[in-house]
Structure 1
Amino acid sequence: MSQAVTVESLTKKFGRVEALHDVSFGIAEGAVFGVIEPNGAGKTTLMRCLLDIIRPTSGSAKLLGEDPRTAGPALRRRIGYLPGELFLEGRITGRKLLAHYEYISGPVKPGRIEGLAERLGLDLDRTTRKLSKGNRQKLGLVQAFMHDPELLVLDEPTSGLDPLVQQEFLAMVREGQANGQTIFLSSHVLSEIQQAADQVAILRDGRIITVASVDSLREGAVRHVRFTAARISASDAGALLGRVRGIGSIEVLPAGDDVELSATLAGPIQPLLQVLATLELKELVLAEPDLEESVLELYGTIRGNGGGQ
């Protein structure tokens, strides 16, 4: 499959501060690719480098097969961009502002702007200075999506949006992917990336820790298990559970004549089920994998190793 985005050894320094260090990854055409980082600095710098808003110190990138440093306006018209910090002219209506963006980005299908505004609940005839943060964000999303670009680069796209509008945005992402668009988005909230993306890059201190599919992250994520069993002592139940690969944080809880245990599981579920099948269970709760904990554990591992990619 062809690559819509290719990044090789991208490094960006601001004086002595290294915002990006030797970043490399690729995004296949038609994929939804998410990047997550807690403090938000590295991922915004990365997107700005890709779009030639700022120049990298070293390394290279290609977008839609072209070098953004030399491709010029023709490439930019094939891209929709939503910056993390959206600055809008205050004394103009949303409708007139979008007409200006249409002149820059290229043709927009008749009714497309109005359709997107209706979906997002945006009043196009209000001046931008009267818009709330959420409505300004909606206006930014309309300008990014309206010309149906081949590539969408969206920095914190759900910032300021209420939950219902966030769900509408996710529907727009899925529709865009179904139409062959490639979407590169960032967030500091893992659950948003989990709902939207096929693949995730985890960035810390300007370095990529890992690039993985959402499914593979889920497989390696931490689950929480809790059960109540009869006719077994707490020590025997704990010892039995402790033999399961990936089990940790075992805690015995008081439960009258029975024994109640809670634990975490970072591994396949089948060995745990085989052990639990030997017990006289009264209650069993096995939670969905927690990607947030999995990612935080990755951050902690890198910190414990003293950094590095």
Structure 2
Amino acid sequence: MTDTIEIARLHKRYGNRVALHELDLRVRPGTVFGLIGPNGAGKTTTLRTLVDIIRPSSGSVRVLGEDPRHGGAELRRRMGYVPGELHLEGRPSGHRMLAFYARVSGARDSATTLRTGRDLADRLGVDLTRPVHTLSKGNKQKVGLIQAFMHHPELLILDEPTGGLDPLMQREFLQMVREAKDAGQTVLLSSHVLSEIQQTADEVAVLANGRVVADGDVASLRLGSIRRVRVELATTDAAAARAALERIPGLTEVDVHAADGMLRLSGTVDGAIDPFLKALARFEVRDLTVEEPDLEESVLRLYGVSATPASARPASARSASRRSRHDSEGQR
């Protein structure tokens, strides 16, 4: 079966700046593929190339079996796209804007498409009677999502799609992605939010400086294994606390200090959180915070600051990554 997206040696240069370095990427049909990385990694450039907003400097791109540069409107009708910077202005109401999108999507039954759009609007809680220029950023984002999903495209390309959405609507969006996958649609999701990728993606590629530095299934990449922890203990026995912490595997950047008759501990846990919790069981825990570090910190910590291209990595590491058996220790 032909891959939905095939990118080979994609290179994009803006003047003296290289945004993409011979990027290779494949997305299988009917899957959710996560594309993650820090700002400037090349995610948006990659997605814009897929919808022919940006032309590559070299390399090849095929989307749904066609070159985006030659697929024209027919190819674009088979896709749903949410840009990273969505601009909806003007006086038309949300209804009129979606009616326009229903017509240009080329759906055989634009009335049914529009009806689906209105159902999605009810689901997301956006008032389509208002002019789009009066909508909040979050509600404009909802309209952008609706126009992408409502014609049931074969491929959804979503660039930071939850920007401006509240947590409840973010959860609803993730459910929409799962439903699209269940319906056989393919989803390419670019995100800064690790939890979005972890909850939806079958496979993921990590970009840094325009290169894929790791790829595979979400579990094998261990993207969620790094956590920042902060604890308040009802004790002033710093020596006992330090002794307990020394036995915790993967605990680094430890800071222990006394304040207000308590000990405040902080550090970073790489791996399972259970040994950390068990080590603290002998103390009275007044407060505990476990948080996911930001995406850039996770990427740099797991895969190092170097954006070494896959072709320059050891052959064993490349094959392991392609088989979704990524050995994170070999990538540090």
TM-score range, shorter chain: 0.7 to 0.9
1:34-60 residue CA offsets vs partner (Å, 9 max, x unmatched): 222332572111111111121111111
1:187-225 residue CA offsets vs partner (Å, 9 max, x unmatched): 233333333333332222222222243323246434649
Q: How far apart, CA to CA, are the structure 1 residues paired with 2:292 and 2:46?
A: 23
Taking a change above 3 Å as real, the CA distance of residues 247 and 182 of structure 1, as seen in their structure-2 partners, is same
Q: 1:65 aligns to what?
A: 65
Q: 2:324 aligns to what?
A: none
Q: 1:20 aligns to what?
A: 20
Q: 2:314 aligns to what?
A: none
Q: How does 1:73-84 map to 2 (within 5 A)?
A: 73-84=73-84
1:261-305 residue CA offsets vs partner (Å, 9 max, x unmatched): 7654324578x48x95xx9834589976x5536751532677754
Q: 2:140 aligns to what?
A: 136
Q: How far apart, CA to CA, are the structure 1 residues paired with 2:266 and 2:289?
A: 11
Q: How far apart, CA to CA, are the structure 2 residues paired with 1:28 and 1:51?
A: 17
TM-score, normalization: structure 1?
Answer: 0.80
Percent identity, please: 47
Taking a change above 3 Å as real, the CA distance of residues 165 and 219 of structure 1, as seen in their structure-2 partners, is closer
Assess if the C-alpha contact under 8 Å between 1:223 and 1:286 holds in 2. Answer: no
Q: How far apart, CA to CA, are the structure 2 residues paired with 1:19 and 1:46?
A: 9
Taking a change above 3 Å as real, the CA distance of residues 43 and 260 of structure 1, as seen in their structure-2 partners, is closer
RMSD: 3.6
Letter in 1 for 2:64: L
Q: SS state of the match for residue 42, structure 2?
A: helix
Does 1:151 find its partner at 2:152? Answer: no
Alignment gaps of 5+ in structure 1: none
- What's the offset of the Cα at 1:131? 2.1
Q: SS state of the match for residue 293, structure 2?
A: helix
Q: 1:195 aligns to what?
A: 199
Alignment gaps of 5+ in structure 2: 310-332
Taking a change above 3 Å as real, the CA distance of residues 303 and 237 of structure 1, as seen in their structure-2 partners, is closer
Does 1:105 find its partner at 2:105? Answer: yes
Assess if the C-alpha contact under 8 Å between 1:227 and 1:282 holds in 2. Answer: no
Assess if the C-alpha contact under 8 Å between 2:2 and 2:65 holds in 1. Answer: no
Q: 2:323 aligns to what?
A: none
Assess if the C-alpha contact under 8 Å between 1:226 and 1:262 holds in 2. Answer: yes
Assess if the C-alpha contact under 8 Å between 1:302 and 1:308 holds in 2. Answer: no
Q: SS state of the match for residue 226, structure 2?
A: coil
Taking a change above 3 Å as real, the CA distance of residues 240 and 5 of structure 1, as seen in their structure-2 partners, is same
Does 1:171 find its partner at 2:169? Answer: no
Q: How far apart, CA to CA, are the structure 2 residues paired with 1:63 and 1:286?
A: 47
Q: How far apart, CA to CA, are the structure 2 residues paired with 1:84 and 1:28?
A: 23
Does 1:296 find its partner at 2:292? Answer: no
Taking a change above 3 Å as real, the CA distance of residues 287 and 32 of structure 1, as seen in their structure-2 partners, is farther
Taking a change above 3 Å as real, the CA distance of residues 262 and 188 of structure 1, as seen in their structure-2 partners, is closer
How many residues get paired? 302
Letter in 1 for 2:143: L
Assess if the C-alpha contact under 8 Å between 2:81 and 2:156 holds in 1. Answer: yes
Q: SS state of the match for residue 160, structure 1?
A: coil
Q: How far apart, CA to CA, are the structure 2 residues paired with 1:301 and 1:167?
A: 27
Letter in 1 for 2:28: A
Q: 2:166 aligns to what?
A: 162
Q: 1:11 aligns to what?
A: 11
- What's the offset of the Cα at 1:153? 0.5
Assess if the C-alpha contact under 8 Å between 1:151 and 1:181 holds in 2. Answer: yes
Q: 1:221 aligns to what?
A: 226
Assess if the C-alpha contact under 8 Å between 1:80 and 1:144 holds in 2. Answer: yes
1:209-247 residue CA offsets vs partner (Å, 9 max, x unmatched): 2224332324643464979899xx976875676466534
Letter in 1 for 2:59: G
Assess if the C-alpha contact under 8 Å between 1:94 and 1:126 holds in 2. Answer: yes
Q: How does 1:258-269 map to 2 (within 5 A)?
A: 264-267=268-271
Q: SS state of the match for residue 72, structure 1?
A: helix
Q: SS state of the match for residue 292, structure 1?
A: coil
Q: 1:204 aligns to what?
A: 208
Taking a change above 3 Å as real, the CA distance of residues 161 and 239 of structure 1, as seen in their structure-2 partners, is closer
Taking a change above 3 Å as real, the CA distance of residues 240 and 54 of structure 1, as seen in their structure-2 partners, is same
Assess if the C-alpha contact under 8 Å between 1:10 and 1:20 holds in 2. Answer: yes
Q: How far apart, CA to CA, are the structure 2 residues paired with 1:205 and 1:76?
A: 28
